[in-house]
Structure 1
Amino acid sequence: MGIIGGDTAFIVGAKAYFNKSFSMDLNLNSIRYYRQAFIEVIHGVLIEIDMVNQKKLSMDEYISMISLKTGALIEKSLLIGTSYAKLENEYIPHFSTYGVNLGIIFQIIDDILGTFGDEKVTGKPTDGDIREGKHTCLLIEAMNNLEVKKKERLVKLMSNSEMNEEDVKEVRDLFMEADAINSSKKLASKYYEEASDALEKLKPVVNESEIEFFENLLKFVLERKF
């Protein structure tokens, strides 16, 4: 059902590019971004699914995955806008950097909220990622920071497909001991700074009110609680 829904959504979205309000050249350029976003998001999701089966994962691999899964969607949405606005080519990479980094920040914070968020605020359970054995930024940071015996314990817990509440709590405790939340927030802040720098470079061609909107959006995503 999900596959059929996704295929249908892609076709319905593509139909918008044949709207005669814009020239065919602009529509064709934009549909290239649309198609590429679809490909990259699917690629990212497939990588994420496969990651559950990998015993070892680096932060670089994780960032690469979320750049595709989440970053590409935001990036290509912005680039479609730059295409219709006929933005000068020299400024397009800055929108690209902003979009990808915004997606990275969103996903890192999503990982944190997915384990340590307030369920009443997020509307989602906080044990899902742990029970599914997902390779979140919290898990990677914990594996980088814990001593050997505790790493082995964490691997064993995350490999258990039938975790009980005590197991989930122990995983959370190991994340806390490894200071995984703060490490992940620092990582998100790094990409926040890069996105802010990209916005600074867009000031010659983007209105002040629009820059302010993008700055506020960036801050909201970094500080969100839901």
Structure 2
Amino acid sequence: MDIDAELKQIEQRICTLTSEQFEMPACQNLHSSCKDTMETVVNQALTSSKGGKRLRALLSLLSYDAANSTISSNKSSSENSKENFNRASMIDLACAIEVFQTAALIHDDIIDESSLRRGIPSAYCAFSKVYNNLRIGTGLGIMLGDLLAAESFNIAGNCAKNLKNTQELLLTFSDTQRSVCVGQVLDISIEMMDLDNTELLAQSSLNVFKWKTASYTTISPIKLGFLSAGLDPKLANDLAYSIGEPLGIAFQLADDLLDVVSDPKHTGKPVGGDIREGKRATLLADALQNSNEKDKAYLKKAYTKKHRSSGDVKRIIDIFYKSGAIEKSKKRIKDLWEQSQQALQNSELSEEAKNIMQSIIERFIPEQWRI
């Protein structure tokens, strides 16, 4: 399979689907001032939808291929023709996941007050600049996120009727959106948590990763792909969780780690962006648990004030290294990766299907943290 060709097709299809969703009657025949605003929103929708690795779409699409490989290796020519039609619908479903991802990121940037996304101004900042008004920019950002979330469900509904397990597909898609919202609430609640209970902080952070990240990054894409191919719903659910949950948590741990050890040219975000935002995750919990009293006091003070300077970011990263939090995070990632691998290898999928799955899940975790 040519992954690059798949990526190109997904990227083009996302652009087409997003444009089509804004061709609704409500967006036509508007007063000139309203029309200009709507055009700005549509253009930002297309801008915000560009870029990204499209890992969720690829995972869902290849999970579909893997399930098809397991279900049957011999199809008649007429069945193959129908399968090609179904795969086109599966591509749209995979794109729907990415559209929802964009919606979630737009809202996430507003909550975190992040000015950049994928190396360019985040949606609400772009709107704020156009209208020279933060309140209007934030309001339009919220509505764009809502529009894209609704759009993602429209896309899913249109293509699900051409796929197997239609009802389960739509329930899974809606449950995924709810899980992400629950995860976001939990994420916000951690900002108010007492930093003295480091074990609770670490456990709560991992729970957020399960609800907010793994739910729509790995679990749902795998489950949607398996269901769409016709895999038994219970088996699809069990495999999606056993393979996807540890993979998704490891993915978020790796993303947090990349925030402090990687070049911003590669991540599209400044080094220590999560630290500047005051994000309380496992790195902080592990550092608090293993630091000396002086560093522990500094971390608590830094994370309870409103803003952290560049000097704060540098010192906090140094403490993360010195306390062993960086190495502990790497170990967590490796352990979760191995758990996901074991679930895949012990699954009822065919050997060909396992190879298909392996080819995509390896893209979620940097190689140096898998071995």
Give TM class, smaller chain: 0.7 to 0.9
Aligned-partner Cα distance in 1 for 2:271–2:204: 24
- Which residue is equivalent to 2:259? 114
The answer for the alignment partner of 2:7 in structure 1 is none
Question: Structure 1 length normalisation: TM-score?
Answer: 0.88
The offset of 1:85, in angstroms, is 2.0
Mapped partners of 2:265, 2:182: distance in 1: 32
Aligned mates of 2:144, 2:284 — CA distance in 1: 32
Based on CA coordinates, which of the two structures has the bigger radius of gyration?
2
Calculate percent identity across the aligned residue pairs: 27
Coordinate RMSD, CA, aligned: 2.1
The letter for the 2-side match of 1:66 is F
CA gap 1:127/1:22 in 2 versus in 1, 3 angstroms? closer
Deviation at 1:224, TM superposition (A): 6.2
Q: Which runs of 5+ in 1 are unaligned?
A: none
For residues 74-112 of structure 1, what are the alpha-carbon distances to aligned partners after superposition, in whole Å with 9 as ceiling and x for unaligned?
A: 211221222222223346312222122221111101111
Is residue 2:215 matched to residue 1:75?
no
| Equivalent residue number for residue 360 of structure 2 | 217
With 89-98 and 79-88 compared, the bigger mean Cα shift is at 89-98
Q: Which amino acid aligns with 1:205?
A: L
| Aligned counterpart in structure 2 of residue 17 of structure 1, from 134, 153, 157 | 157
The one-letter code of the counterpart of 2:202 is M
Report how far residue 147 of structure 1 moved. 2.4
TM-score by length of 2: 0.55
CA distance change for structure 1 residues 39 and 91 in 2, over 3 Å: closer, same or farther? closer
Q: Secondary structure at the match of 2:346?
A: helix
Q: Which runs of structure 1 show a deviation greater than 4 angstroms over 4 or more consecutive aligned residues?
A: none
Structure 1 residues 21 and 222: CA distance shift in structure 2, 3 A: closer
Secondary structure in structure 2 of the residue aligned to 1:126:
coil
Question: Matched residue of 1:157: which SS?
Answer: helix
For residue 110 of structure 1, give the secondary structure of its aligned residue in structure 2.
helix
- 1:30 aligned partner: 169
Distance in 2 between residues matched to 1:224 and 1:41, nearest whole Å: 27
* Structure 1 letter corresponding to 2:211: L
Where do residues 23-172 of structure 1 align in structure 2 (5 Å cutoff)?
Answer: 26-56=165-195, 57-73=200-216, 74-88=218-232, 89-90=234-235, 92-172=237-317
Gaps of 5+ in 2: 1-139
Distance 1:162 1:95, change over 3 A: closer
Secondary structure, aligned partner of 2:365: helix
Code of the residue aligned with 2:225 in structure 1: it is G
Does structure 1 conserve the Cα–Cα contact (< 8 Å) formed by 2:264 and 2:271? yes
Q: Separation in 1 of the partners of 2:325 and 2:207? A: 19
